[in-house]
Amino acid sequence: MDAPLQSVTNAARLLKAFLSREETLGVSELARRLGLGKSAVHRLLTTLAAEGLVARDADGGYRLGLVVFELGEAVRSHMDLHAAAGPVLAELREQTGESSQVGVLDGDEVVYVDRLESTHSLRLFHETGRRVPLHCTSSGKVLFAEMPRDRRERILAAGLRAHTPHTIVTPDAMRAELAGVRDRGWADAVNEREIGVASLAAPVRGPGGAVVAAISVGAPITRFRAIPRQRLARWVVEAGEAVSRRLGWSEPGCPAPSSGAGSSSSTVRTPNGQEAAHARV
């Protein structure tokens, strides 16, 4: 096992010193609490300040920086997402019998942060924490489609890797694919990352309506094709809406529901282009 870096350990200890809830701490007080020399503490503070993790006040004291708040919000968001998605993932797996998962955007990849395995003996073993590409997975396409345009274009300009002969790699074809995802409200990927594997995903929205995650079902292609696509799309879109409502989202023009189950109707554009009414989970 690799030994921890002492400088990183000391930086972490310094940040933890602010758990005392004091608004600001000076170099001398931090040096006393950490058992380090003032010069060492000053170097740590200078480095952390450059990264936005601490900030210096006019009186010379230091306080936690806004980046620490942003990191805390990210942790809270993922914890909220886990709590909101858990029951919905269980219901989606019960409906489909297949693996269901929630993925979030991290850089230019998708990371699965929650997952329930299929009830079948033949399963797709994609562990929680696994990273997958944006352009050839259904969850990735959902998140890719909702990116700001300039960010999408930067990724397209960098080139898309062909994982199989079915992977979409040309910019124009991917633009058309993502426009379709935005129009119908779900994405699929069949044989695009791995031959014999297919998935279908829908967006999860936060309180303000922005897409914060994707919920998906993945299966071996033979079982995936055995479920009518219209039915599968409806189930996954309903699941995405259910998680979204548990996070505090409500459709424009609709009153915000409580976090408990509520029944109302909406529409989902099905694979044949029709709009089918469905009850929310």
Q: What is the pLDDT of residue 126?
A: 52
Per-residue pLDDT tens over the stretch 156-182: 999 999 999 999 999 999 999 999 999
Across 254-275, average pLDDT = 40
Contacts of 39 (CB under 8 A, 6+ apart): none
**Are 185 and 129 a contacting pair, CB within 8 Å?**
no
86-97 per-position pLDDT tens digit: 899 999 999 998
Distance between CA atoms of 133 and 220, rounded to whole angstroms? 18
Give the chain as a 3 state SS string: CCCCCHHHHHHHHHHHHHHHCCCCECHHHHHHHHCCCHHHHHHHHHHHHHCCCEEECCCCCEEECHHHHHHHHHHHHHHHHHHHHHHHHHHHHHHHCCEEEEEEEECCEEEEEEEECCCCCCCCCCCCCCEEECCCCHHHHHHHHCCCHHHHHHHHHHCCCCCCCCCCCCHHHHHHHHHHHHHHCCEEEECCCCCCEEEEEEEEECCCCCEEEEEEEEEEHHHHHHCCHHHHHHHHHHHHHHHHHHCCCCCCCCCCCCCCCCCCEEEEECCCCCEEEEECC
Residue identified by tokens 């990724």 is 155
Count of Cβ atoms closer than 10 Å to residue 245 Cβ: 25
232: left (phi over 0), alpha (psi -120 to 50) or beta: alpha
Tell me how far apart the alpha carbons of residues 238 and 218 are, in angstroms, rounded to a whole number: 16
Cβ atoms 148, 158 nearer than 8 A: no
With bands split at pLDDT 50, 70 and 90, how would you rate the model's confidence at 196? very high
The pLDDT tens digits for 30-69 are 999 999 999 999 999 999 999 999 999 888 899 998 888 7
- Mean pLDDT across the chain, nearest whole number? 83
Per-residue pLDDT tens digits for 4-27: 788 899 999 999 898 877 778 999
Residue 281 pLDDT exceeds 80: no
Q: How high is the pLDDT of residue 253? A: 56
The pLDDT value given to residue 107 = 84
- Minimal CA–CA distance to 215: which of 252, 185, 195? 185
pLDDT tier for residue 254 given thresholds of 50, 70 and 90: low
- % residues pLDDT > 70 (the chain): 81
Q: Is the pLDDT of residue 127 over 90?
A: no
The mean pLDDT value for 67-94 works out to: 79
